[in-house]
Amino acid sequence: MAFKTIFPYISFMKIKLSILLLFITIGVHAQYIIGIGTKWSDEFTEWKIYTEDEELEGEITMRWQMQLDWTEWDYTIGNESGSIRIKWKDDPNQWEISGGDEIITARTLWKDDPTEWRITNNTQTITLKSRWGNNFNEWRLKNDRYGSFDMAMDWEGDPREWIVEDDLDEEISIHLKIAILFIVTFHSSPKF
């Protein structure tokens, strides 16, 4: 008799626990980026990504560092990873970012003008723009359809450290955010 009165309570607790775990899982996927900086102070081939969670860091690394090949990169953040490569050899106007189950394309709006980019995964499209034309110290999204994402050099004129204000909707994947980080840091960094 006691088992029958407890059974509905146990089922109710299982449902509450399942809902709680669902919300926790959704919260884990929302990774808000707060900054990015070079791993070493004298080179731009390895970058560390910082998130709100101090224990969750990521990195973007040049794949062929010994050859100083700027056309292929790899990234990881948490359990996510992917690659970044130039779409057409010797044409920095288009990049392809592959991660998770997404292929993201980043291309300049105007040929050979790196101040404005259209980044899309064929479902969501954002336009990233240098805030002050040819001054690459600050970048932001052109519209706020999916929220806002602003990047600014920590010290003006020093592209080694960036402050990020990531207020993008949760529907924007970490891979799309990595695409934004990469385009900004790549085009703001000196290439030796």
Whether residue 131 sits in one domain with residue 97: yes
Tell me, yes or no, whether 129 and 44 share the same domain.
yes
SS3 at position 44:
coil
Supply the range of the domain harboring residue 169: 33-188
My answer on whether 93 and 1 are in the same domain is no
Question: Quick one: 119 and 143 in the same domain?
Answer: yes
Task: Write out pLDDT tens, residues 13-24.
Answer: 444 444 444 443
Q: How far apart are CA 73 and CA 46, in angstroms?
A: 9
Q: How many domains does the chain have?
A: 2
Amino acid at 135: N
- pLDDT of the residue at 2: 52
Q: How far apart are CA 96 and CA 179, in angstroms?
A: 9
Cα–Cα distances (Å) from 85 to 98, 100, 186, in that order, read 9, 15, 12
Q: CB of 29 within 8 A of CB of 170?
A: yes
Claim to verify: residue 104 and residue 162 sit in the same structural domain: yes
Q: Does residue 4 sit in the same domain as residue 37?
A: no
Q: What value does the mean pLDDT take over residues 169-181?
A: 96
80 in Cβ contact with 67 (< 8 Å): no
Work out the average pLDDT over 44-50: 96
Indicate if the pLDDT at residue 119 is higher than 90: yes
143 and 60 assigned to the same domain = yes
Residues 62 and 8 both lie in one domain: no
Identify the band that residue 90 occupies on the pLDDT scale cut at 50, 70 and 90: confident
Residue 29: per-residue pLDDT: 47
Q: How confident is the model at residue 55 (pLDDT cuts 50, 70, 90)?
A: confident
Backbone angles phi, psi at 22, to 5 degrees: -60, -45
Residue 5 has a pLDDT of 53
Kindly state whether residues 1 and 57 are assigned to the same domain: no
Question: Which residues, 6 or more positions from 71, have their beta carbon under 8 angstroms from its beta carbon?
Answer: 85, 86, 89
| One domain for residues 21 and 53 | no
Cα(113)–Cα(92) distance, rounded to whole angstroms? 10
CB 46 within 8 Å of CB 39: yes
- Whether 21 and 51 map to the same domain: the answer is no
Please indicate, yes or no, whether residues 144 and 67 belong to a single structural domain of this protein.
yes
